[in-house]
């Protein structure tokens, strides 16, 4: 996977905690720790966006759509 080098600013307290995690071998280095943290945050954002979109759905409409499609599929199956 291609990677890009960037510069970030991080407060001292957070950096000390990060360095403790690296020192205790939770992460191999700062870069890896920050990469994983950003990736996890982006996943949470995606999941919350999906949850918000799902909350907009009308359960009644979704149920009737599913049943309509299911009935159509049953007509296609041969009887044994």
Structure tokens at 17: 């905690």
Cα–Cα distance list, 27 to 37, 62, 66, 72 (Å): 11, 44, 46, 53
- Higher-scoring residue by pLDDT: 50, 35: 35
Most confident of 29-33, 51-55, 56-60, 67-71: 29-33
Locate the domains of the chain by residue range: 12-75
- The overall pTM is greater than 0.85: no
- Higher-scoring residue by pLDDT: 15, 63: 15
Distance CA 29, CA 22 (A): 6
């Amino acid at each position: 996977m291609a990677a890009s080098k960037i510069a970030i600013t991080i407060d001292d307290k957070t950096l000390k905690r990060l360095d403790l995690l690296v020192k205790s071998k939770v992460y191999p280095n700062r870069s890896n720790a920050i990469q994983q943290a950003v990736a996890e945050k982006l996943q949470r954002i995606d999941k919350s966006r999906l949850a918000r979109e799902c909350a907009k759905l009308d359960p009644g409409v979704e149920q009737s759509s599913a049943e309509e499609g299911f009935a159509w599929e049953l007509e296609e199956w041969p009887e044994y």
